[in-house]
A and B are shown apart, each in its own frame.
Chain A
Amino acid sequence: QVQLQESGPGLVKPSDTLSLTCTVSGASINGYYWSWIRQPPGKGLEWIGYVYYSGSTHYNPSLASRVTISVDTSKNQFSLKLSSVTAADTAVYYCGRGSPTPGNWGQGTLVTVSS
């Protein structure tokens, strides 16, 4: 059974870089697309982007200037970096297997941007 687990700091200061990792168990990173999606408090889901196991990426244009998604096949993990964060980036961040319709999701991790 595929399981995904997001990890990273729950609190990030404004203008810093948000960094999250998604650890995949029960399946190999190889051969799949891996996605990041977020949900600000009280708002809807927002697609951030995806990475293919080969390393190719595709980002939401609204975030593309600040986002980097990468994959580490040796660790069976993939990661999200979002630079120059503001309070508007406060959200529950989810990782998922597959794009554009992830069939498996992590439970999500809340990241708060505050000084």
Chain B
Amino acid sequence: EVVMTQSPATLSVSPGERATLSCRASQNINGNLAWYHHKPGQAPRLLISGASTRASGIPARFSVSGSGTEFTLTISSLQSEDFAIYYCQQYNNWPPTFGQGTKVEIK
């Protein structure tokens, strides 16, 4: 099973600032990576899949970089609705596996 490790566990950012979240896979996942946004009590939301393809309705302030085993999600200018937990997921190997999440909180 591919182990996904996210860092940091918590990120404190002011509205309007940039947030950078990291995700590391225990082996090469060939860019088969997705990111989700989740506010507890709500449905998780797919942000990006295929390492860099934004899902429908996801604004351009969300972008992903990286390859192999190291990936980064960047939110260029945090809006109020962006404060949430972010999960990365690999789907190169079965079963798909998720990271433990990064909580983005208001500084």
Inter-subunit contact A102/B46 (CB<8 Å): yes
Q: A44-B100, A44-B101, A45-B87 are in contact. Are A107 and B42 (CB under 8 A)?
A: yes
A100 within 8 Å of B by Cβ?
A: yes
Q: A60-B95, A101-B49 are in contact. Are A108 and B89 (CB under 8 A)?
A: no
Inter-subunit contact A44/B95 (CB<8 Å): no
CB 8 Å contact bits of B47-90 with A (1 = contact, 0 = none): 00100000110000000000000000000000000000001010
Q: How far is it, in angstroms, between the C-alpha of A95 and the C-alpha of B86 when the chains are bound?
A: 18
Inter-subunit contact A103/B55 (CB<8 Å): yes
A31 within 8 Å of B by Cβ?
A: no
Give the number of residues in B that approach A within 8 Å (Cβ atoms). 21
Least CB distance from A33 to B in Å reads: 12
A61 within 8 Å of B by Cβ?
A: yes
* Chain B residue at smallest Cβ distance from A108: B43
Scan residues 9-68 of chain B and give those whose CB is less than 8 A from a CB of chain A. Answer: 34, 41-46, 49, 55-56
Scan residues 37-81 of chain A and give those whose CB is less than 8 A from a CB of chain B. Answer: 43-47, 58, 60-62
A105 within 8 Å of B by Cβ?
A: yes
Least CB distance from B24 to A in Å reads: 14
Least CB distance from B46 to A in Å reads: 5
Inter-subunit contact A105/B43 (CB<8 Å): yes
A8 within 8 Å of B by Cβ?
A: no
A106 within 8 Å of B by Cβ?
A: yes
Inter-subunit contact A47/B95 (CB<8 Å): yes
Residue among A4, A44, A103, A108 making CB contact with B98, cutoff 8 Å = A44
CB 8 Å contact bits of B86-107 with A (1 = contact, 0 = none): 0101010011111111000000
* Chain B residue at smallest Cβ distance from A95: B43
Q: How far is it, in angstroms, between the C-alpha of A102 and the C-alpha of B46 when the chains are bound?
A: 7
Q: A100-B96, A101-B49 are in contact. Are A107 and B89 (CB under 8 A)?
A: no
Inter-subunit contact A58/B34 (CB<8 Å): no
Closest 4 CB pairs of A and B: A100-B91, A45-B98, A105-B43, A60-B95
Question: Can you list 5 residue pairs at the A/B interface with Cβ under 8 Å?
Answer: A61-B94, A101-B49, A105-B45, A106-B43, A107-B42
